[in-house]
Structure 1
Amino acid sequence: MPYAQAEGARLWYEEAGSGHPILFIHEFGADHREWEDQVRFFSREYRCITYAARGYPPSEVPESPKLYGQDFAVADAAAVLRHLGIPRAHVVGLSMGGFAALLFGIRHPEMAVSLVPAGAGSGSPRADLAEFRSQCAARGDRLIAEGWPGAMAEETGHAPTRIQLKKKDPRGWAAYMARLAEHSGLGTGLTMKHYQGERDSILDWEAELRRMEVPTLLAVGDEDWPCIETNIFLKKVLPNAGLWMCPRTGHAINLEEPAAFNAELARFFSTVERGRWRLG
C-alpha cells in the first residue's frame, strides 16, 4: 500500500499522471480527496501527488499531541516528496495546507518550483489571533469528544465562508459533507488544537517572506473574509507573488470554482516553467 514514512506517522499518498510534479496539501476540513478535480485536470500533463495529513485516515492517527503541529506539517510534505524521489515540485495548498505551503517555501525553497497558497491566513491578523486560538482549542476538544457526524459537520458545512459551495454545487457539497463525516475525531481534534490553534501568525514571518523568492500565486475568494487581509499583507511583502481573487467565492475555492482555479494554476505553472515569472 502507498505510504510514506514521516516522523511519528505513515502518510497515505496517491499519484496520477506523469511529467512535472505537483504536490497538493489539503485543508483542515477535507482530505486528499478534495483535489480530485485538480488531479483529473492536471494529470493529463503533470505528475500529481496528493496525501492525507497525519490524523486523517488512511494515514496514521498518532495519539500523542506532541506529534501534531506546523513543524510536522511542513516536514510531512517534504517526506512525501523525498519518499517519491522528487527533488522539486509545484506545491499547492488550501487553507491549513496553504499555510503549510507558505512555510514550506520558507524552509525548503530549493524543493519548491512554485507555491500556490490558496485560502491561507485565517487567524493571522493580530486582532483575531487570541480569539482564533481559543476557538481552535474548544473546537478541538469537541471533535475529540463528539467526532464529526452530526453537529460538527453541519456547523462546518453551513459556515459563512462555506455555504457558497452548497449554493453553487449542491451535489458537490453533499459529497464534501459525506467525506467530512468520515474523518477521525481524534486526529482532527488534535490537529485543530495543536496545529491550527498553536501555529504562528503569518504576519510573524514578515522578514522571512520578504527574502523568499519562490514564484508564488496567492489565491483567495472575495467572500473568504478571514483570509483577505492576510493575503493583501502577503502580496505586499512577498517579492515574487501575484494575487488572484476569485469573485463571489468563499473558502473552498478549488471546490467552488474548479474550472477557474485550474485555469489560473495552469497559466501560472506555464509562466513559471517558461522562466517568465521572475523578479525584476
Structure 2
Amino acid sequence: MPALDRDGVKIHYEAHGAGPAILLTHGYSATCRMWDGQIAAFKDKWRVIVWDMRGHGESDYPTDRAAYSEELTVGDMRAILNACGVDEAVIGGLSLGGYMTMAFHLRHPQMCRALMLFDTGPGFKKDEAREAWNATARARGDKLDAEGLAGLGTSDEVRQSRHRSADGLANAARGMLTQATSGVIESLPGIAVPTLVLAGANDKPYLAATDYMAAKIPGARKVIVPDAGHASNLHQPEAFNDAVGAFLATLP
C-alpha cells in the first residue's frame, strides 16, 4: 500500500475502488481498519480513501511531540488527496476523525463536496470546557506512558486496531486530541456543503454534540443509529451503511 512522506514522517493511506472520492478518517487509538466494512460497501461506486493518522497503525510514530497537531493532521489529509489526484471529496470521520473533518473544512472548504460527521463533537466555545477536555486528553497520554498499549483499553475500535508502540499514541493524545481554539465550533454556521451528522443511540457523551451540530450546520441531515455505541459503524454496520448510502445518493 502507498505511503506519503511528510517531512520525514511516513503516512500510510489506501485507495479502494473507483469513482467520486470519499476520505475517511478514523478515531483516536483506532486505525483505517475500522473502515473495512465501508470500503466493501462503497468501493463499487466510490473511490474510498482511508489512512492511519500519525502515531497510529502503519504510519510513523515520530518522537518529537511537535510533530503532532491539528494543523499537521489537516495537512496530512490534504496531502493524501493531492497524492490521489483528488481536487474535491466527501470528507468524513468518526470521533477525532470527525473533528478533523470539520477542521479540514475550516481550512479547505473548496476541497469538500460534502461532510460526514460520525459520533463526534465540534469542540468548545468556552476556555474552561476546552481546558477540561485537554486535561483528560493529556491524562490519556500519561496513562499510555505508564502502561503502554495496555492503557488503550478494550473498546471495539481499539480491538480491531494494531499499533507498534504506545509512544506515538501518547504524543497524539497531547498534540492532536487536545484543542487550542474555538475555531471549529465557531465555523459550523458557515458550512455550506451537504452534511450528514450521525451517532449511535447509546453514545451518550456525544448525543448533545450531535444535536448541536445538526442545529448549527445549515441543512444538515441527522441520523441516530439504534442499538449502537461510539463506534456506530462497527456496532450496526448495515444501518450505518444504509444511512451513509442514502446521504451519498442525495449529493449533486
TM over 0.5: yes
Q: 1:193 aligns with which of 174, 184, 189?
A: 174
The answer as to 2:107 corresponding to 1:107 is yes
- Identical residues among aligned pairs (%): 30
CA contact (8 A) 1:218 1:242 kept: yes
Q: Distance in 2 between matches of 1:141 and 1:259?
A: 37
Take 2:95 and 2:185, find their aligned partners in 1: how far apart are those partners?
19
Match of 1:98 in 2: 98
Aligned AA (1:90) = V
Matched residue, 1:153? 152
Asked whether 1:179 is paired with 2:161, we answer yes
Alignment of 1:189-228 (within 5 A): 189-201=170-182, 204-228=183-207
* Separation in structure 2 between the aligned mates of residue 178 and residue 88 of structure 1, nearest angstrom: 30
Q: Which moved more, 1:125-134 or 1:252-261?
A: 125-134
- Contact 2:116–2:197 (CA<8 Å) still a contact in 1? yes
Does the C-alpha gap of structure 1 residues 227 and 25 become closer, same or farther in structure 2, counting only changes over 3 Å?
Answer: same
Aligned pairs (5 A) from 1:103-142: 103-121=103-121, 124=124, 126=126, 128-142=129-143
Give 2:212's match in structure 1, choosing from 233, 255, 258. Answer: 233
Shift of 1:103: 1.4
Shift in alpha-carbon separation, 1:50–1:71, aligned structure 2, 3 A: same
Q: 1:124 to 1:249 in 2, by over 3 A?
A: farther
SS of equivalent residue, structure 1 residue 248? coil
Residue matched to 1:259: 238
Give the CA deviation at 1:5. 2.7
User: How far apart are residue 199 of structure 1 and its match?
Assistant: 4.6
User: Any conservation in 2 of the 1:122–1:226 contact (CA below 8 Å)?
Assistant: no
What are the Cα deviations for residues 169-224 of structure 1, in whole angstroms up to 9, with x where unaligned?
Answer: xxxx4x852525x35201110111111123545xx545422122011100111221
Q: Taking structure 1 as reference, are residues 211 and 153 closer, same or farther at Cα in structure 2, changes over 3 Å only?
A: closer
Q: CA–CA distance in 2 between the matches of 1:197 and 1:3?
A: 26
Contact kept in structure 2, 1:5 and 1:83, CA below 8 Å: no
Distance 2:108 2:131 in 1: 29
Q: Distance in 1 between matches of 2:247 and 2:228?
A: 20
User: Are the equivalent residues in 2 in contact too, given 1:2–1:14 (CA < 8 A)?
Assistant: yes
Number of equivalent positions: 251
1:57 Cα deviation from its structure 2 partner? 3.5
TM-score (norm 2): 0.91
In structure 2, what residue type is equivalent to 1:190?
Answer: N
1:241 positional shift: 1.2
Q: Helix, strand or coil for the counterpart of 1:56?
A: coil
Cα distance change on mapping 1:177 and 1:103 into 2, 3 Å: same
Q: Label 1:207 to 1:131 Cα distance change in 2 as closer, same or farther (>3 A).
A: closer
- Report if aligned partners of 1:28, 1:95 keep a CA contact under 8 Å in 2: yes
CA displacement 1:101-132 (0-9 Å, x = unmatched): 11112211111111101011186485754332
Indicate if the aligned counterparts of 1:117 and 1:218 stay in contact, CA closer than 8 A. Answer: yes
**Cα distance in 2 for residues equivalent to 1:122 and 1:214:** 16
